[in-house]
């Protein structure tokens, strides 16, 4: 319990520090914030703003105040009233925009995670059982190349094959399950390979243990050995790696969302950064960091659950 | 997560009777030659490095000279790998690009390794408030979206090879620091360190002579695998429009600029893409092999 | 305890979590739709729109792949004006424009200038808004006043003092100073007329209720799909489509693949290199047009080598505009002469593009003292070699490759150019500091269908978009004089003279006219390209024939 409180305190601190860092960095990037807001709302990318327009925007969003004051106000509003600001570009509360965009990313990451877990674990077990046979080698080589290809390249190749050549799924869109398949598959590829490799190694090690050999000698069928005995002990590193993958998935989502026109938080973040939509950037970062920390927290709990030897003091 | 990592390493180290230093010498080469895939990867790496080093002498064309009328050509006798969208020779660009890609990757990994080792050592060795401070910073950097860093740094300093290197290093170092800290935590409880402390050796000496040599193995492994990851990150940043400009021959930038032509002239994505993939594969194999050699008792796949 | 520790249990937890996450996306979408329904809109959820698409296209629905993200439907503050007016055809402006950019009646049937600062607009009769109410001078006054309040850009162009509704169909506008381009500004989509019922009681903008051929039906803020339906009572006559679904697909590659895969019926600006391949596909046609925008290279006149007119002219001779148009733009665009399209009524038709002439460039540069003395291929003078930097950005796909091609061409003339593809903010910063030589950008040239706006901003001393810092007494005088002339022919004559001067002096090199590739399925009929639109305009006559 004490550990949990301490842990929660760390998480809160990390979130705060990340927000502060973001705020500082966003203000260090050159180019007037007011100018960029205007370019992305009123005047068009190439046109120049007049002095009058600039000062109007600056005073509307208090851009001329000292940075620490701006940040102080943001934190104060966020903590006291749960208000994390209003987007400069969309002119709507950041919280509202996040509720619109967050589900899409969560859905995408969730589906990828599901694919990574299901495919990764089963392929890993298969590969371990087939150790050093031809199918094991093929699987390992394929996944090795899979993790080594740039994500957006894979995504584009997948679109060309599955949408354009085979006409199986749509290129872009959001809303139904069919739209989810391709982006989720593209995003999960790296994770599938990682989970598979860990499962394989870990399974092999477990299968080599004394008690498994004993079970085999007793004549238990293979599937029973695996499900009753081997899997349980082999899962420890797998769960860890799945937790790590969540971070990668959130990072990879930025690119995948761009390609598939997926209305998620990753593409929103990138767009907001270039439009200097500071409250929106803060909101996205806040959401992403919180998600990331929570997932890691859950993984740690699962970890203790699986391996009673680990106890947090 | 931090605690998990520490525990994993602690557990592992307890099992180890042989300390890594003893493996360095003859054992190393013996184990190396037992693994065919590693040998293959080493040879391939030497080949790539050689090509990168001698690129200016062997590349058939000026990588930036464009001949608009010869754009988007398929491989032929004149242009062995074809030409890109401005009629630049792809082979020459890939060869010169190897220099950029590899040197950025090495640079980033080196900077992160050094920073990470130093800070991780300090945190693990001194403990207390130093550890607390550094650990929190590591946490923050590990949960920070790297894109923002890249954008901010490239925005402040402008685009360029060095700035890209800096941006990526800032994103990467925390990973090394975390692993290093975990290593140091468990090593410093070992007998030989304790006796060195009691014998009155100064901290720097202990860290240099006892801690780092015994703790560095997993970091070396991590660094090897990371070289590939950095090359992938450059490609991703280029795709998002914050990497290197397309006129700098670099694989990621080439791949990203060529994506518009994937249907009409696929070679300008296929070849840089393959180059990236191969190099990443090479470093994955090397990293894997290094782990087996340096860290024979390692359990369960990639835990980094 | 044993059961709890089972690996299946853990995996089950992970998978269950994933399942919850996936469905959470869907369910919150429904909530979102429910929210919309509450606010009184008819709901068409994004997924329905997509899944019905095939059935729909048979009953005359067009799915449009829009080139920008659809973020806002607010027509008042400048966010969604162009989209709602030109691409969704929900709203209309008082003034229209012909193909040659001369003005024609829109919602206003005629207008005249009463005195220097007063204009009178006669409004078209029998025009009704989508809510059934009639459009009168009151609503027009309401719209314009709100736009002026919320949109500083339009306000600064209009320079309006007072607006008065004289009677139901007469509007009097008084300006603060003489403003001959007032009717032209009222062609700008941000000034499109909406009904006051577009706002709710708390004066929040909720949805655009205009007069156009299509009525706003729904905007799904999550999927960002905009749906509009046929306005049966459009004053302009019959409307072709029953329904139009607009999806923002910002990536050109994805747009190309979407139309190839049959997910959209109409889209624009696929990668230029793909235009010929896509045109060759059965059932898809690509049409290339010019839009009122030019690729231009600003030259920093404050930097020593570029101050010299001969260097600038030499650069212009070194650039192969035709090769760029053909090989970089794939003929989506054209080699340019002056800042205006030759089809524009006011353009100086006697100008022709600089054609590539390396000898001429060599002569000019040598005369200016730039010779390659050390044999490194780069010219030098007084021990300094001719190195320049060129900034550009990637938001418009033609720019980075064009910059690369130009750099190589300039190098052949002995000028070394380093390209920097930057973010807009960094470009702005560098321009502020004056730390740049060349800046390649794509500028709009007919925000307002009149040459005054562009020539003033670009070439007048201290003009708002005068990046090079150009200052020419004669140009200033000509523009100032022309401004006061209301006779169009006289006006244009002065402006033509300005065009000729800047073409000679090359403070900015106009490289190419911006193109637009319209990509549509063959079953989309009746499309007419409007060159005065900002990207493209959907016309009421479009229909689907299977």
Residue of C nearest to A113 (CA): C18
Beta bridge partners of C440: C297
Band of pLDDT at residue C7, cut at 50, 70 and 90: low
Contact between C251 and A259 using a beta-carbon 8 Å cutoff: yes
In terms of Cα–Cα distance, which of C320, C342, C328, C336 is closest to C513? C336
Task: Determine contact, residues C250/A261, Cβ cutoff 8 Å.
Answer: yes
List of residues 6+ apart from C521 with CB closer than 8 A: C259, C262, C265, C266, C283, C284, C285
Q: What is the pLDDT of residues A199-231, one digit of tens each?
A: 888 888 887 777 777 777 777 777 777 777 777
Question: Which one is predicted more confidently, B24 or C218?
Answer: C218
What percentage of chain A carries pLDDT values higher than 90?
A: 3
Give B 215-244 residues with CB within 8 A of chain A: 228, 232, 235-236, 239-240
**Total Cβ atoms within 10 A of residue C445:** 26
ipTM over the 0.85 cut-off: no
Contact between B68 and C273 using a beta-carbon 8 Å cutoff: no
Number of A:C CB contacts under 8 A?
Answer: 201
Q: What is the DSSP string of C198-236?
A: GB-TT--B-----SSSEEEEEEETTTTEEEEEE-TT-TT
In terms of Cα–Cα distance, which of C442, C449, C421, C452 is closest to C511? C442
Q: What is the DSSP string of chain B?
A: -HHHHHHHHHHHHHH--S-GGGGTTHHHHHHHHH-HHHHHHHHHHHHHHHHHHHHHHH-SS-TT---GGGTTPPS-SSSTT-B-TTS-BHHHHHHHHHHHHHHHHHHHHHHHHHHHHHHHHHHHHH-HHHHHHHHHHHHHHHTS-HHHHHHHHHHHH-SSHHHHHHHHHHHHHHHHHHHHHHHHHHHTTSHHHHHHHHTT--HHHHIIIIIHHHH-HHHHHHHHHHHHHHHHHHHHHHHTT-S--TTS--HHHHHHHHGGGTTT-THHHHHHHHHHHHHHHHHHHHHHHHHHHH-TT--SS---
Distance from the Cα of B71 to chain C's closest Cα (Å) equals 8
Average pLDDT value for residue range A161-170? 83
In terms of Cα–Cα distance, which of A139, A189, A289 is closest to B232? A189
Q: C378 CB near a chain B CB, below 8 Å?
A: no
Place of tokens 């054992």: B27
The conformational region for residue C535 under phi > 0 = left, psi -120 to 50 = alpha, else beta, is alpha
**Residues of A272-284 as b/e, b for ≥16 C-beta within 10 angstroms?**
bbbbbbbbbbbbb
Band of pLDDT at residue C10, cut at 50, 70 and 90: low
Q: Which of A122-136, C28-42, C45-59, C181-195 has the highest mean pLDDT?
A: C181-195
Beta bridge partners of C215: C229
What is C291-515's CATH number, 3.30.720.110, 3.40.50.300, 3.30.1490.20, 3.10.105.10?
3.10.105.10
Give C 433-492 residues with CB within 8 A of chain B: none
Q: What is the pLDDT of residues C226-275, one digit of tens each?
A: 999 999 999 998 999 999 999 988 888 889 989 998 899 999 999 998 99
Contact between C14 and A99 using a beta-carbon 8 Å cutoff: no
What is residue C215's predicted lDDT score, i.e. its pLDDT? 95
In terms of Cα–Cα distance, which of A234, A154, A230 is closest to A193? A154
What is residue C369's predicted lDDT score, i.e. its pLDDT? 92
Residue of B nearest to C271 (CA): B260
Residue of A nearest to B229 (CA): A148
Residues of B in Cβ contact (< 8 Å) with C281: none
Distance from the Cα of A60 to chain C's closest Cα (Å) equals 13
> In the structure encoding, which two tokens stand for residue B81, read together?
């790998």
Residues of B with CB under 8 A from a CB of C: 64-66, 68-69, 71-72, 85-87, 151, 154-155, 158-159, 241-242, 245-247, 257, 259-265
Q: C405 CB near a chain B CB, below 8 Å?
A: yes
What is residue B39's predicted lDDT score, i.e. its pLDDT? 84
Average pLDDT value for residue range C15-26? 66
Residue of A nearest to B149 (CA): A25
Contact between C253 and B65 using a beta-carbon 8 Å cutoff: no
Domain residue spans in chain C?
A: 81-265+523-544, 291-515
- Least confident piece of the model among A92-106, C255-269, C344-358, C423-437: C423-437
What is residue B59's predicted lDDT score, i.e. its pLDDT? 83
Q: Does position C322 have pLDDT exceeding 90, yes or no?
A: yes
Q: Which CATH architecture has domain B37-293?
A: Orthogonal Bundle (1.10)
Q: What is the pLDDT of residues A40-50, one digit of tens each?
A: 776 677 777 77
List of residues 6+ apart from B263 with CB closer than 8 A: A160, C256, C274, C277
Question: Which one is predicted more confidently, C311 or A4?
Answer: C311
Q: For A312, which of B3, B140, B263 is closest by C-beta distance?
A: B3
Check whether domain C81-265+523-544 has CATH 3.40.50.970, yes or no? no
Q: Given the DSSP bridges, would you call strands C387-392 and C416-421 parallel, antiparallel or unpaired?
A: parallel
The arrangement of strands across the sheet holding C160-167 comes to C108-115, C118-123, C170-175, C160-167
DSSP state for residue C128 in the 8-state scheme: B
Distance CA A187, CA C152 (A): 43
Task: Determine contact, residues C255/C67, Cβ cutoff 8 Å.
Answer: yes
Sequence-separated contacts (24+) of C495-501 with Cβ below 8 Å: C495/C346, C495/C348, C495/C451, C495/C452, C495/C455, C496/C346, C496/C347, C496/C348, C496/C350, C498/C455, C498/C459, C499/C338, C499/C339, C499/C340, C499/C347, C499/C348, C499/C351, C499/C455, C500/C348, C500/C350, C500/C351, C501/C472, C501/C474, C501/C475
Touching chains, C (3+ CB pairs < 8 A): A, B
Mutation target to probe the C interface, by most C beta carbons within 10 A, among A27, A42, A259, A276 is A42
Touching chains, A (3+ CB pairs < 8 A): B, C
Contact between C273 and B245 using a beta-carbon 8 Å cutoff: no
Distance CA C239, CA C231 (A): 7
Distance from the Cα of A278 to chain B's closest Cα (Å) equals 12
Q: What is the pLDDT of residues C514-527, one digit of tens each?
A: 999 999 999 999 99
Mark out the alpha helices in C286-338 (DSSP H runs).
304-307, 309-318, 321-323
Beta bridge partners of A44: none
Rounded to the nearest integer, the mean pLDDT of chain B is 80
Residue of A nearest to C68 (CA): A261
> In the structure encoding, which two tokens stand for residue B77, read together?
């006798």
Residue of A nearest to C441 (CA): A46
- Least confident piece of the model among A146-155, B28-37, C372-381, C525-534: B28-37
User: In Å, how far are A136, A146, A289, B130, B281 from A149, measured between CA atoms?
Assistant: 20, 6, 26, 40, 9
What is residue C487's predicted lDDT score, i.e. its pLDDT? 82
Distance from the Cα of B300 to chain A's closest Cα (Å) equals 5
Contact between A144 and B277 using a beta-carbon 8 Å cutoff: no
Give chain B's residues under pLDDT 50.
Answer: 1-25, 299-304
**Total Cβ atoms within 10 A of residue C205:** 20
Distance from the Cα of A301 to chain C's closest Cα (Å) equals 11
Give B 145-174 residues with CB within 8 A of chain A: 145-149, 151-152, 155-156
What is residue B112's predicted lDDT score, i.e. its pLDDT? 94
Q: B144 CB near a chain A CB, below 8 Å?
A: yes
What is residue B65's predicted lDDT score, i.e. its pLDDT? 79
Residues of B in Cβ contact (< 8 Å) with C404: 66, 86, 246-247
User: Which domains, and CATH codes, for chain A?
Assistant: 19-83 (no CATH), 99-306 (1.10.3720.10)
> In the structure encoding, which two tokens stand for residue C231, read together?
């306005």
């Amino acid at each position: 319990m004490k550990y949990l409180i301490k842990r929660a305190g760390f998480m809160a601190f990390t979130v705060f520090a990340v927000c502060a860092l973001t705020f500082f960095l966003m203000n260090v990037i050159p180019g007037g914030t007011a100018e960029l807001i205007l370019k992305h709302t009123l005047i068009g990318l190439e046109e120049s703003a007049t002095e009058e327009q600039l000062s109007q925007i600056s005073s509307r969003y208090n851009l001329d105040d000292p940075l620490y004051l701006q940040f102080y106000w943001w934190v104060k509003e966020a903590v006291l009233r749960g208000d994390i600001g209003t987007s400069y570009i969309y002119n709507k509360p950041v919280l509202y925009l996040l509720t619109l965009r967050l589900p899409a990313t969560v859905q995408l990451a969730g589906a990828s995670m599901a694919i990574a877990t299901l495919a990764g674990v089963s392929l890993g077990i298969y590969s371990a059982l087939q150790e050093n046979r031809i199918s094991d080698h093929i699987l390992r080589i394929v996944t090795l190349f899979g993790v080594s290809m740039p994500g957006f390249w894979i995504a584009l190749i997948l679109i060309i094959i599955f949408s354009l050549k085979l006409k199986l799924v749509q290129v872009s869109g959001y809303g139904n399950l069919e739209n989810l398949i391709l982006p989720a598959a593209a995003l999960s590829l790296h994770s599938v390979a990682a989970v598979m490799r860990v499962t394989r190694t870990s399974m092999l090690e477990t299968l080599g243990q004394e008690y498994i050999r004993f079970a085999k000698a007793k004549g238990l069928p293979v599937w029973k050995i695996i499900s009753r005995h081997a899997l349980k002990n082999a899962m420890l590193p797998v769960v860890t790696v799945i937790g790590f993958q969540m971070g990668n998935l959130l990072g990879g989502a930025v690119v995948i969302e761009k390609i598939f026109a997926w209305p998620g938080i990753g593409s929103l973040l990138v767009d907001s950064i270039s439009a200097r939509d500071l409250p929106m950037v803060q909101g996205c970062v806040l959401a992403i960091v919180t998600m990331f920390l929570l997932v890691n927290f859950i993984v740690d709990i699962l970890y203790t659950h699986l391996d009673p030897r680990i106890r947090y003091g | 997560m931090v605690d998990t990592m520490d525990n994993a390493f602690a557990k592992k180290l307890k099992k180890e009777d042989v300390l890594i230093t003893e493996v360095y010498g003859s054992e190393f080469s013996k184990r190396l030659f037992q693994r065919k895939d590693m040998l293959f990867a080493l040879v391939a790496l030497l080949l790539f490095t050689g090509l990168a080093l001698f690129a200016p002498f062997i590349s058939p064309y000026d990588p930036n000279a464009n001949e608009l009328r010869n754009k988007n050509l398929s491989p032929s006798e004149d242009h062995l790998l074809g030409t890109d969208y401005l009629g630049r020779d792809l082979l020459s660009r890939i060869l010169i690009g190897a220099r950029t890609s590899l040197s950025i990757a090495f640079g980033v990994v080196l900077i992160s390794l050094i920073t990470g080792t130093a800070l991780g050592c300090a945190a693990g060795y001194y403990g207390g408030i130093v550890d607390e401070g550094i650990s929190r910073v590591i946490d923050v950097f590990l949960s920070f979206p790297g894109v923002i860093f890249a954008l901010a740094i490239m925005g402040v300093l402008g685009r360029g090879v060095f700035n890209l290197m800096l941006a990526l290093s800032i994103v990467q170092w925390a990973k090394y620091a975390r692993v290093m800290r975990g290593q140091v935590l468990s090593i410093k409880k070992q007998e030989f360190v304790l006796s060195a402390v009691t014998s009155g050796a100064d901290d720097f000496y202990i860290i240099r002579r006892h801690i780092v040599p015994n703790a560095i193995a997993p970091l070396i492994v991590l660094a090897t695998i990371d070289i590939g990851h950095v090359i992938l990150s450059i490609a991703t940043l280029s795709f998002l429009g914050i990497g290197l400009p397309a006129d700098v021959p670099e694989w990621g930038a080439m791949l990203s600029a060529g994506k518009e032509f994937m249907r009409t002239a696929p070679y300008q994505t296929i070849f840089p893409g393959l180059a990236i993939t191969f190099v990443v594969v090479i470093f994955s194999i090397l990293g894997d092999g290094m782990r087996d050699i340096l860290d024979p008792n390692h359990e369960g796949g990639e835990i980094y | 305890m044993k059961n709890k520790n089972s690996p299946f249990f853990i995996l089950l937890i992970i998978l269950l979590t994933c399942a919850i996450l996936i469905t959470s996306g869907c369910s919150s979408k429904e909530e979102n739709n429910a929210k919309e329904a509450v606010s009184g809109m008819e709901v068409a959820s994004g997924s329905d729109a997509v899944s019905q698409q095939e059935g729909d296209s048979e009953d005359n629905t067009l799915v449009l792949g829009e080139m920008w993200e659809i973020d806002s439907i607010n027509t008042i503050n400048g966010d969604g004006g162009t989209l709602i007016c030109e691409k969704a055809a929900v709203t209309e402006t008082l003034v229209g424009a012909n193909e040659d950019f001369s003005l024609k009646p829109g919602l206003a049937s005629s207008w005249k200038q009463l005195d220097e600062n007063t204009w009178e607009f006669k409004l078209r009769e029998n025009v009704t808004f989508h809510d059934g109410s009639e459009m009168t001078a009151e609503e027009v006054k309401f719209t314009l006043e709100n736009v002026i309040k919320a949109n500083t850009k339009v306000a600064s162009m209009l320079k309006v003092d007072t607006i008065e509704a004289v009677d139901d169909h007469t509007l009097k506008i008084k300006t603060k100073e003489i403003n001959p381009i007032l009717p032209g500004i009222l062609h700008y989509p941000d000034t499109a007329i909406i009904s006051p019922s577009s706002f709710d009681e708390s004066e929040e903008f909720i949805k655009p209720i205009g007069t156009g051929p299509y009525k706003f039906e729904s905007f799904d803020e999550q999927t960002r799909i905009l749906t509009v339906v046929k306005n049966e009572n459009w004053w302009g006559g019959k409307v072709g489509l029953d329904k139009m679904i607009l999806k923002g697909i910002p990536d050109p590659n994805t747009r190309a693949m979407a139309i190839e895969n049959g997910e959209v019926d109409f889209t624009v600006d696929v990668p230029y290199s793909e235009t010929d391949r896509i045109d060759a596909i059965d059932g898809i046609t690509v049409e290339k047009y010019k839009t009122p925008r030019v690729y231009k290279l600003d030259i920093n006149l404050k930097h020593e080598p570029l101050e010299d007119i001969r260097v600038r002219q030499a650069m212009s001779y070194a650039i192969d505009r035709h090769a760029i148009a053909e090989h970089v733009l794939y003929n989506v665009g054209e080699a340019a002469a002056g800042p205006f399209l030759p089809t524009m009524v006011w353009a100086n038709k006697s100008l022709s593009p600089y054609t590539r002439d390396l000898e001429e460039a060599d002569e000019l540069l040598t005369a200016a003292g730039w010779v390659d003395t050390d044999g490194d291929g780069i010219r030098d003078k007084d021990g300094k070699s001719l190195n320049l930097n060129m900034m550009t950005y990637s938001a418009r796909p033609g720019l980075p490759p064009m910059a690369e091609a130009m750099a190589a061409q300039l190098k052949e003339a002995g000028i070394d150019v380093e390209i920097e593809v930057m973010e807009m903010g960094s470009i702005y910063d560098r321009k502020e500091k004056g730390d740049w030589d060349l800046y390649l950008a794509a500028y709009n040239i007919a925000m307002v269908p009149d040459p005054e706006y562009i020539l003033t901003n670009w070439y007048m001393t201290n003009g708002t978009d005068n990046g090079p810092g150009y200052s020419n007494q004669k140009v200033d005088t000509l523009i100032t004089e022309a401004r006061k002339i209301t006779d169009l022919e006289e006006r244009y004559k002065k402006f033509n003279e300005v065009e000729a001067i800047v073409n000679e002096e090359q403070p900015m090199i106009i490289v190419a006219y911006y193109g637009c590739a319209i990509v549509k399925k063959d079953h989309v009929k009746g499309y007419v390209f409007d060159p005065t639109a900002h990207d493209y305009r959907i016309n009421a006559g479009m229909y689907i024939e299977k």
